[in-house]
């Protein structure tokens, strides 16, 4: 699923705890950190209802991805969405590729 489609379908929430959070969509940053008050919030959402609203931003073999569920291995950050993902489905949103040319200023 392309990143832009993921944004429209699952509607990630703005990080209300950090005004400088990553993945700013013009309304504020969408990513939550992996520690402290932000992680506490992510865990609270993960353990609450409705389920299946936490996504993990991970570093993969050939790039970075947003994947469904709360994960710890290779995590970079988390997203909390208003729309839950389907139970039993596996989603993967590629954000960057390791073989993509870097922007040079």
User: Does this model's pTM top 0.95?
Assistant: no
Is residue 54 in some structural domain? Answer: yes
pLDDT at 61: 86
Quick one: pLDDT band at residue 102, thresholds 50, 70, 90? Answer: low
**Buried-exposed string 54-70: b where 16+ CB fall within 10 A, e elsewhere:** bbbbbeeeeebbbbbeb
The answer on pLDDT for 104 being more than 50 is no
The answer on pLDDT for 87 being more than 50 is yes
Which residues span the domain enclosing 27?
3-97
Q: Name the domain count of the chain.
A: 1
10-66 pLDDT, tens digit per residue, is 999 999 999 999 999 889 999 999 999 999 999 999 999 889 999 999 998 899 999
């Amino acid at each position: 699923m392309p990143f832009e489609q993921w944004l429209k379908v699952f509607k990630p929430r703005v990080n209300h705890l950090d005004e400088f959070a990553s993945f700013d969509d013009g309304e504020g940053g969408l990513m939550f950190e992996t520690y402290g008050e932000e992680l506490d919030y992510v865990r609270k959402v993960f353990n609450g209802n409705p389920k299946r609203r936490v996504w993990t931003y991970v570093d993969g073999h050939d790039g970075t991805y947003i994947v469904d569920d709360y994960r710890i291995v290779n995590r970079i950050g988390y997203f909390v969405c208003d729309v839950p993902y389907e139970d039993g489905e596996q989603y993967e949103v590629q954000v960057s590729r390791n073989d993509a040319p870097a922007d040079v200023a």
